[in-house]
Structure 1
Amino acid sequence: METKEHTSRNTHHGHAVKRFRHTLGKKQEALASEMGLSQALISTYEQRKVLSDDVIERFAKALNVAPELIKELEEDPVTFIIENNTFENGSVSNIAITNDNENFSNTYNPIEQILALSKEKTTLYERIVELEKEKNALLEKLLKEKE
């Protein structure tokens, strides 16, 4: 049953690495120099759906996140579409044109709300990463106290 749940999950290791890199504000070149790789290789890894465990470990160490986060971060189709498209202000307005060639402005712009939700989601992921760091620090402290 666990295998069935795992196969139904929509994960993409490369996209997870890219999302964490974007969240941290790092460019591919900076990450590549930290890891001793080329920028082109980082780009190639970010396009792969499945990465080997040792590669995930290296990325996790460079991005200072738990490897499980990279392995288990699920794809969000809406976020993926928004991240890979560019919207300009007004690109959605003036959609409807009547027979008289009168333009109607769209006062309700759902794209802006979707982008706001995407930013909120990014903020939540950043908070998850912070909490994970705090948890790791606490666990390390507890281990040292036991010794």
Structure 2
Amino acid sequence: MSDSPSKQIHQGRNIKRFREMLGIKQEALAYELGEDWSQKKISLLEQKEEIEASLLSQIAEVLKLPVEAFQNFDEEQAVNIISNTFDNGSVGYQKNDNCTFHPIDKIIKLHEEKIALYERMLKEKDEMMQRLEKLIGK
């Protein structure tokens, strides 16, 4: 069985994939496309295998992506490329035995900084309340 270029790319599914990767909700895309669009219409669009070129270019403009992203992206092919490219020692994954910090230590430090900030904010609030009470009390 040969990999023939006749395999159909599901353009609607590609729109959904890229929309989700960009963190855009169906409602937001519908809003950007205009009044005659709704969340339900976007949902139905994302189920279509092929989409009119003019609509694809409109969606591409809204998502700030090239039209070819929807027309040519093949998940199966992308997975094959990734699995054949990334292995131990390749660009995507590098074992690092020389790590100078532990991730948990970083999390603890961030947590401590957050607590210190919260305490400063409470102190400032208390000082502001005291000043307001003095102003009101006069």
TM-score, normalised to structure 1, is 0.46
Question: Computing the radius of gyration over CA atoms, which structure comes out larger, 1 or 2?
Answer: 2
